[in-house]
Amino acid sequence: MTHETPTRPSPANLHEQFASFVLWIDGVGGYLVCLSHRVTLGHPQGETPVDVALIADISRHHATIQRDPEGYFLEAVRKVHVNGQAMDKTLLRNSDRITLGNSCQLQFWQPVPVSTSARLDIVSGHRFAQPVQAALLMADTLVIGPASQSHVQVADMTQALIVFRNKSGLAVRWPGPLEINGVQHRDRAALMPGAVVVTEQLTLTLERVQ
Amino acid sequence: MKFTYRSGQEPLPGYTIKRGIGLGGFGEVYFAVTAGGKEVALKWIRSNLDIELRGVQQCLNLKHPNLVHLYDVRADAQGNHWLVMEYVAGEPLSAILARHPNGVAPELAAQWLQGLAQAIHCLHEHGIVHRDLKPANIFLENGIIKVGDYGLCKLMADSQHAGMTKDIGTVHYMAPEISTGNYNRQIDIYAAGVLLYEMLTGNVPFEGESAGEILMKHLTAAPDLSRVPKEFVAILEKALTKNPAHRYASIMELAKDVAIVMKQPGSIVMSLPVSNKLPPEIPSVIPVTPAMLFQDRLADLTGNLLWAIVASAGLAVMWSLVFGAGDYSKLVPIFFLTLASSWCVLIPTKLWPPIGRSDSWPRRLIHVTLGIGIGLFALWLEGYDLPMPWNAAARMDALQPWQAPFDPPTGMRVFGVLDRPSNTSMPILTCYIAYFGLMFLVLRWWKAAQLYRGTRFSIKAMFAVMFWAFLLLFLLPSLHHREIGFVSLTLAAVVCQITAPWKERVPIRKKKVRLATA
């Protein structure tokens, strides 16, 4: 444990630190990670930026996804269909297809049974405003590993790397030596914005979204 | 994967690296975003620099929807060269095939092959051989195949070296003739055959423990086509033939055969090579004659009028010799009437050149006026006194053409004998005015004298004049008058055409063509 920060960040200043960030994984892709329990979806041209900005024919604030103890609730602000049914508010289940407006379609995944974190993929050929492959709604943990039950599947890996929340903020767990911003660690280490994590099998970077 | 550069670094000014995409013998590929927000792939070219740069430069400006676009080659401060490319957000075919170990549906494989074939065809058309077709170089973005990594000349000088290629994946797609140093487009067709086999079955046709073993199988073993859907067997046999001369001659032939067996009518059309037929040549500049000044036109006209005298005289004499049967009495009136008629056509047409079809009626009106004048002139030539005030006062006993019926004049004004008029119900003045007036009304005489006309001399125009001159002959009172009227108008049509200068008419372009060149 190396997080010897003088002020122990509370969950509130965790959001100040990170609100959302992009996880760049070399050779794999980029992922927008949203830490907030309430995530807004919309077009990026609005005055107040949305958490998950989509370049599609949708409103500036088109829908909200809220993480509750029961699960993820999708609240429609404008026209939203889930699996073809028009919805105002609905509980999302694994592999639900969310259609925002007429054409922008997302698929909702909760690939890891023990984690409530979710993943949103665009399946209609649209794009996120950030050049990322998917949006990850991070609850407690993110699993990056070889199994299909991972938030980010990396076939070449032999074991999973886990990003998790702790009292001080975010941390990473990796069974083996890891290097963060040039500092050697073992098994687990704290993460900060801009951290570059290097393991034998994976290199990833956290970039804070402005 | 270990990349040299990390996210956020900017080795090439203006391009911020976000993450590494891939590593290879050639160098490292990164995903980067420009200062302006454009997403690009950056390839750091490290090996075989000169050869690679030369190959890339040939391809920098190729454009095809199925090719990964190359934007630029840039050098950074350290002298490293970077190839700036289109970033393809989709997956490489290798990732898709890894998820489908038994191959994809034949329809999908066939569809992807069409895209692949289009891209390879484009390269071959530009004289470029890809040389490194493999699933890792082929991407699928929104259902569209994108072929990348072309133009990078791999150093595969001989089979020994190829056997030592670091990336064993490449060996699976190597045509047998590469062992003899033969790198023509046939190797891409072989590789496309291997790819089709792999898409259909999930495996490459020749697998082995080492590169050498695989290469040996490419050289000697026959591919196992029992796993392939039966409609593809013949196609793959031909594509994977060891002898390049027996393979498909072009990638589009392969694509066409695949489209046929898959009954993809749309794809057949798509896969056909671009028609070699060029569109009809369109004059890029419409010839425009500079507008002539009035003086120029007058000078031009004077020349024409003088030539008309010569032509009229010549034709009148010729007519007399051929048809006149020695009767020269009609020669002079025919000459004068021919000349007058042709002048009456040439003068307004030259001074007021026709532009389009819009001014037909004002022109006819002018011609009618002149035609009436010719009628009066003809009458005068016949020896009649014209209904002029001075005539009436001067010679009360003279012939008065407006009082019909009349005794014919005793003799023609010039010479010759006048027939008795047969039509006595109409004043001879009316007859002449009606005949010549109508002749100049019904025909568009200016067509015979305008600068731009279909041909210099149109026999059709002459026949038109003859037709109408004949049709209206009933208006003239006697055979003598009829002969003179008919012959002189016919000759006038000829004179106009041979004296008026001629330029070939600019063909009127179809609207579509006009718009296309605008």
**Contact between chains at A30 and B6 (C-beta distance less than 8 A):** no
Model confidence at B334: pLDDT above 90? no
| Domains, in order of start, for chain A | 11-31+140-208 (2.60.200.20), 36-137 (2.60.200.20)
Average pLDDT, chain A: 87
Mutation site, B9, B19, B28, interface A, largest A CB count within 10 A: B19
**How high is the pLDDT of residue B389?**
58
- CB-based contact A53:A59 (threshold 8 Å): no
Asked if residue B375 belongs to a domain, the reply is yes
**How high is the pLDDT of residue B423?**
41
CA–CA gap between residue B351 and residue B358 (Å, rounded): 17
- Surface-to-core class of residue A44, CB atoms within 10 Å of its CB (0-12 exposed, 13-18 middle, 19+ buried): middle
Residues of B in Cβ contact (< 8 Å) with A30: 18-19, 31
CA–CA gap between residue B235 and residue B403 (Å, rounded): 99
Model confidence at A124: pLDDT above 90? no
**How high is the pLDDT of residue B154?**
52
Angle, in degrees to the nearest 10, between helices B186-201 and B251-261: 30
Could you tell me whether strands A52-55 and A38-42 are parallel, antiparallel, or unpaired per DSSP bridges? parallel
- CB-based contact B493:B465 (threshold 8 Å): yes
Asked if residue B403 belongs to a domain, the reply is yes
Are residue B355 and residue B457 in the same domain, yes or no?
Answer: yes
Domain count, chain B: 3
Are residue B231 and residue B327 in the same domain, yes or no?
Answer: no
Looking at chain A, which residue has its C-alpha nearest residue B40? Answer: A131
> What is the arithmetic mean of pLDDT over B371-399?
68
Q: How confident is the model at residue B419 (pLDDT cuts 50, 70, 90)?
A: very low
pLDDT, one tens digit per residue, over B45-60 is: 876 667 677 778 888 8
Asked if residue B286 belongs to a domain, the reply is no
From chain B residues 130-159, the ones with a CB under 8 A of any chain A CB are: 142
Show which residues of B are catalytic: 132
**How high is the pLDDT of residue B139?**
93
Could you tell me whether strands A38-42 and A63-68 are parallel, antiparallel, or unpaired per DSSP bridges? antiparallel
Among B185, B190, B150, which Cα is nearest to B171's? B190
pLDDT, one tens digit per residue, over B189-217 is: 999 999 999 999 999 999 888 888 888 89
**How high is the pLDDT of residue A91?**
95
Element (H, E) at A27: none
- CB-based contact B175:B190 (threshold 8 Å): yes
**Contact between chains at A27 and B20 (C-beta distance less than 8 A):** yes
Domain boundary among B36, B62, B87: B87
Are residue B431 and residue B497 in the same domain, yes or no?
Answer: yes
From chain B residues 84-113, the ones with a CB under 8 A of any chain A CB are: 87, 89, 98
Residues of B in Cβ contact (< 8 Å) with A28: 19
Q: Does B38 touch chain A (CB under 8 A)?
A: no
Are residue B186 and residue B206 in the same domain, yes or no?
Answer: yes
Asked if residue B513 belongs to a domain, the reply is no
**How high is the pLDDT of residue A18?**
63
Are residue B202 and residue B254 in the same domain, yes or no?
Answer: yes
Residues of B in Cβ contact (< 8 Å) with A131: 18, 31, 33, 39, 87, 89
Model confidence at A24: pLDDT above 60? yes
**How high is the pLDDT of residue B474?**
82
> What is the arithmetic mean of pLDDT over B85-114?
90
CA–CA gap between residue A50 and residue A68 (Å, rounded): 19
- CB-based contact A133:A119 (threshold 8 Å): no
| Closest residue to A30, CB basis, from B3, B19, B23 | B19
pLDDT, one tens digit per residue, over B266-277 is: 444 343 344 444
- CB-based contact B44:B53 (threshold 8 Å): no
Q: Which two tokens stand for residue B281?
A: 């040549």
The nearest CA of chain A is from the CA of B82 a distance in Å of 18
Asked if residue B173 belongs to a domain, the reply is yes
Asked if residue B510 belongs to a domain, the reply is no
Looking at chain B, which residue has its C-alpha nearest residue A197? Answer: B6
Are residue B160 and residue B212 in the same domain, yes or no?
Answer: yes
Are residue B103 and residue B50 in the same domain, yes or no?
Answer: no
3-class secondary structure, B147: strand
**How high is the pLDDT of residue B268?**
41
ipTM of model: 0.78
Overall pTM > 0.90? no
Residue A183 CB neighbour total at 10 angstroms: 10
| Closest residue to A155, CB basis, from B3, B18, B98 | B98
Are residue B455 and residue B420 in the same domain, yes or no?
Answer: yes
**Contact between chains at B20 and A203 (C-beta distance less than 8 A):** yes
- Alpha-carbon separation of residue B75 from A96, A200, B4, B81, B470 (angstroms): 47, 31, 17, 4, 87
Asked if residue B509 belongs to a domain, the reply is no
- CB-based contact A87:A80 (threshold 8 Å): yes
Write the DSSP string, B223-250.
Answer: P-GGGS-GGGHHHHHHHT-SSGGGS-SS
Q: How confident is the model at residue B496 (pLDDT cuts 50, 70, 90)?
A: confident
**Contact between chains at A30 and B2 (C-beta distance less than 8 A):** no
Model confidence at B170: pLDDT above 60? yes
Q: Under 8 Å CB-to-CB from B100, ≥6 apart: which residues?
A: B202
* Top-confidence residue, B486 or A46: B486
**How high is the pLDDT of residue B396?**
45
Are residue B345 and residue B489 in the same domain, yes or no?
Answer: yes
3-class secondary structure, B433: helix
CATH number of the domain encompassing residue B80: 3.30.200.20
**How high is the pLDDT of residue B184?**
84
Domain boundary among B36, B55, B87: B87
**Contact between chains at B33 and A131 (C-beta distance less than 8 A):** yes
Looking at chain B, which residue has its C-alpha nearest residue A198? Answer: B2
CATH number of the domain encompassing residue B272: 1.10.510.10
**Contact between chains at B1 and A205 (C-beta distance less than 8 A):** no
Residues of B in Cβ contact (< 8 Å) with A27: 1, 3, 19-23
Are residue B341 and residue B453 in the same domain, yes or no?
Answer: yes
**How high is the pLDDT of residue A34?**
93
pLDDT, one tens digit per residue, over A53-110 is: 999 999 999 999 999 999 999 999 999 999 989 989 999 999 999 999 988 999 999 9
Domain boundary among B225, B249, B277: B277
Are residue B407 and residue B299 in the same domain, yes or no?
Answer: yes
Average pLDDT, chain B: 78
CA–CA gap between residue B469 and residue B476 (Å, rounded): 11
**Contact between chains at A196 and B7 (C-beta distance less than 8 A):** yes
Residues of B in Cβ contact (< 8 Å) with A194: 8
What domain range is B52 assigned to?
A: 1-87
> What is the distance in angstroms between the CA of the first residue and the CA of the last residue of chain A?
29
Asked if residue B250 belongs to a domain, the reply is yes
CA–CA gap between residue B171 and residue A83 (Å, rounded): 45
Are residue B240 and residue B322 in the same domain, yes or no?
Answer: no
